[in-house]
């Protein structure tokens, strides 16, 4: 909501939505003992240096909101700039989970009408067009009419494409589906955004509608397993959907089917960037490495797996704070070892952000590497 609109609401004498109570699980907030361990790992703090933009600062602000501070725009630079990378949770000696607390706080701020313009735009795009880009094209525009007409209506396996591959990297979608089709995988008749951008930015009620729609689509197809190549879709489908779904990431599926894929060896060396929402949040570390090592030589980055640094793209930060987001990506590129031919990752948002950071080494998705080994 824009400042002007909110100001007008006050002037009309109507009850201001900001007077809503700020409710959040107190135990999760008070777990933070303000030791400051997270100051040394928060990538946003590393990039901007404001005390309020490190994990401890965010936790203190949320505590103050719980204790009666009126929710206002003042808290947004702190609470809207967390990428939800989760490295603070992995390092916190008190067992706090700051990204979970930040997401819950964002949901409360949305209820109180305190949001950034970027968050509102993101929400409108998803609600109006079913995708986070506000793109008006068909979600399956990357398939020909004939290919679309031949899609099986029923299948045990569904490829959940996601907004990024549908609209920004249709070539990844084509390659992924080309591989998965060999295993009888189909697409949802009317897939919409997985709801990750809504959930990460606090629009939980809107997210519920989108999730309900996708669940109906999954039921329609009769699928028991969903395969996705986007780390954001993966964590959302697996951990946030109201029904327990069997969700497999593309690297896990590929690692399970290496023999059938009959991949050829390629004579180059790559490094691998762990997407936060695939790695740290869901512990998918070995599958992508197994796939890479079946094809070529893997040389690890400086900070990997649990310690991997964030690409800067998540949590709505790429949209809301593009400069900070790019700074994080540039920092991540400094972890790339010398002598590699490609940086491989398994999330289109990481591909996008790392590419935008403009390093010398090409960033590719794992499906591109696999496609090279198949062709």
Cβ proximity to ligand SF4, 83 vs 176, nearer residue: 83
**Smallest distance from ligand SF4 to CB 327, Å:** 12
CA distance 272 to 88: 21
**Smallest distance from ligand SF4 to CB 92, Å:** 3
Q: Give first-to-last CA distance, the chain, whole Å.
A: 50
Cβ proximity to ligand SF4, 87 vs 125, nearer residue: 87
**What residues contact residue 326 under an 8 Å CB cut-off, 6+ apart?**
312, 353, 356, 357
**Smallest distance from ligand SF4 to CB 35, Å:** 4
- Residue 245 near residue 218 (C-beta atoms within 8 A): yes
Cβ proximity to ligand SF4, 107 vs 370, nearer residue: 107
**Smallest distance from ligand SF4 to CB 317, Å:** 8
Cβ proximity to ligand SF4, 44 vs 237, nearer residue: 44
- Residue 104 near residue 70 (C-beta atoms within 8 A): no
Cβ proximity to ligand SF4, 31 vs 209, nearer residue: 31
**What residues contact residue 108 under an 8 Å CB cut-off, 6+ apart?**
20, 22, 23, 24, 65, 71, 202
**Smallest distance from ligand SF4 to CB 104, Å:** 13
For 307, the token pair is: 């310690």
In a 13 Å sphere around the CA of 243, the CA atoms on its Cβ side amount to 13
Which of 102-116 are b and which e, b meaning 16 or more Cβ less than 10 Å from the residue's Cβ?
A: bbbbbbbbbbbbbbb
Name the residues that contact ligand SF4, by CB under 6 A: 32-38, 41-44, 55-56, 58-59, 82-88, 92, 94, 96, 98-99
Cβ proximity to ligand SF4, 16 vs 97, nearer residue: 97
Q: What letter would DSSP give residue 92?
A: -
Within 10 A of 23 (CB to CB), how many other CB atoms are there?
11
**Smallest distance from ligand SF4 to CB 65, Å:** 16
Cβ proximity to ligand SF4, 161 vs 317, nearer residue: 317
**Smallest distance from ligand SF4 to CB 60, Å:** 9
For 122, the token pair is: 């993101």
Relative orientation angle of helices 204-221 and 117-129, to the nearest 10 degrees: 30
């Amino acid at each position: 909501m824009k400042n002007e609109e909110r100001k007008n609401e006050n002037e009309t004498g109507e009850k201001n939505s900001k007077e809503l109570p700020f409710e959040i699980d107190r135990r999760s907030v008070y777990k933070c003992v303000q030791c400051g361990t997270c100051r040394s790992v928060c990538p946003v703090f590393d990039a901007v240096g404001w005390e309020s933009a490190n994990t401890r600062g965010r936790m203190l602000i949320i505590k103050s909101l719980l204790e009666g501070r009126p929710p206002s725009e003042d808290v947004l630079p702190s609470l809207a700039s967390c990428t939800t990378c989760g490295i603070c949770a992995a390092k916190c000696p008190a067992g706090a989970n700051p990204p979970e607390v930040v997401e819950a706080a964002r949901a409360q701020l949305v209820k109180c009408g305190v949001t950034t313009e970027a968050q509102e735009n993101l929400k409108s795009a998803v609600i109006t067009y079913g995708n986070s880009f506000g793109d008006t094209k068909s979600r399956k525009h990357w398939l020909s009419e004939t290919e679309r007409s031949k899609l099986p209506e029923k299948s045990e396996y569904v490829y959940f494409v996601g907004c990024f591959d549908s609209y920004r990297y249709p070539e990844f979608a084509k390659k992924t589906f080309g591989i998965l089709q060999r295993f009888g995988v189909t697409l949802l008749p009317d897939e919409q955004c997985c709801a990750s951008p809504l959930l990460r930015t606090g629009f939980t009620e809107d997210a519920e509608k989108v999730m309900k729609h996708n669940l109906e689509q999954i039921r329609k197809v009769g699928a028991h397993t969903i395969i996705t190549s986007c780390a954001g879709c993966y964590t959302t489908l697996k951990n946030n959907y109201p029904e327990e779904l069997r969700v497999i990431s593309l690297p896990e599926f590929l690692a399970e089917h290496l023999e059938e894929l009959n991949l050829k060896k390629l004579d180059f060396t790559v490094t691998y960037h762990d997407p936060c929402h695939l790695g740290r949040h869901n512990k998918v570390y070995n599958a992508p490495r197994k796939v890479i090592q079946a094809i070529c030589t893997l040389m690890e980055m400086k900070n990997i797996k649990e310690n991997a640094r964030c690409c800067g793209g998540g949590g709505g930060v790429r949209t809301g704070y593009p400069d900070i987001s790019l700074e994080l990506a540039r920092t991540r590129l400094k972890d790339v070892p010398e002598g590699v031919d490609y940086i491989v990752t398994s999330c289109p948002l990481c591909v996008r952000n790392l590419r935008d950071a403009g390093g010398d080494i090409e960033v590719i998705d794992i499906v591109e590497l696999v496609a090279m080994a198949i062709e």
